[in-house]
Amino acid sequence: MPVFPSEEWFVAVREEYNKDPSLHSGGGGACDTVSGLEIADRFYRIQFEGHQCVDIHESSKTDIEDLDFVISMPEETWRKMVKDIQKNGKASALLTLNSIDLSSEESIAYSPIDDQYRQDLFYRYNQNFQDLMDASARVETSFE
């Protein structure tokens, strides 16, 4: 059973997300970005092309200037969201990326090079990311 967070887990989620177009409804459109997910000391590079998540792999938090934005939340918040998705089939109202972003002191997304244009991509695309995370409802998950 894949453990959250791990590359194995994200790959399993990606496969669920890619194979079912009904999971692509929230964003409602194509998403083209290379971004990062920061979970405590773990870092994942993630790439969307159109309606597909074409790549996600564990990486390091170095050489990330090419990323449009990085979503960074405390590990506890990530876990809370994923557990909530496991329980309810999708993130409930106050545990979506949008909601967490507002209730956080600082935005949960940042541009590694402080590029406002690329930072704004988070707000244009976060529903696609939410769809991907919601696909984890279909992945049996261990939290260790």
Partner 1 sequence: MSEEEKVTPEPIAKPTFKWMGLTNQWDVRVEPNEHGLRLGDLNVGIYGEVPEYWEDQTRRPRGSVGRPGIPPLSYSLRYKHDVWADCAADLYEEAIQRQWIPATDVPWNTLETLPEEIEKAVCQVCTELSQYANSEIEIISHWQDEMSYGFHEVKQYLATVFFDCARHVEALRKRALSNGGGLGIESKGVANRMILQSSGGWTESVAYLYLVRGTYVFHLIKGLHNSAHNEAERFIYKQMLQDHARHLTYGYDHLKYAVTHKDGQTQIMETLLAVGEGIMARELDTSLIRPAMAIIFGEGLEGAKTKGMDSYLALVKDFVADYVEICGWLGIEKTGRLNPALQQYLDL
Contact residues toward partner 1 (CB under 8 A) are 27-30, 32, 49-50, 93-94, 98-99, 101-103, 114, 116-117, 120-121, 123-124, 127
Distance of CA 86 to the CA centre of its chain: 15
CA distance 53 to 72: 19
For partner 1, give the closer residue by CB, 1 or 102.
102
For partner 1, give the closer residue by CB, 6 or 99.
99
Distance of CA 144 to the CA centre of its chain: 20
For partner 1, give the closer residue by CB, 33 or 136.
33
Shortest CB 85 distance to partner 1, Å: 16
For partner 1, give the closer residue by CB, 18 or 99.
99
Shortest CB 115 distance to partner 1, Å: 8
Shortest CB 50 distance to partner 1, Å: 6
Output the CA angle 116-113-57, nearest 5 degrees: 105
3: left (phi over 0), alpha (psi -120 to 50) or beta: beta
Shortest CB 98 distance to partner 1, Å: 6
Which among 72, 68, 79 is positioned nearest to 37, based on CA atoms?
72
CA distance 37 to 59: 10
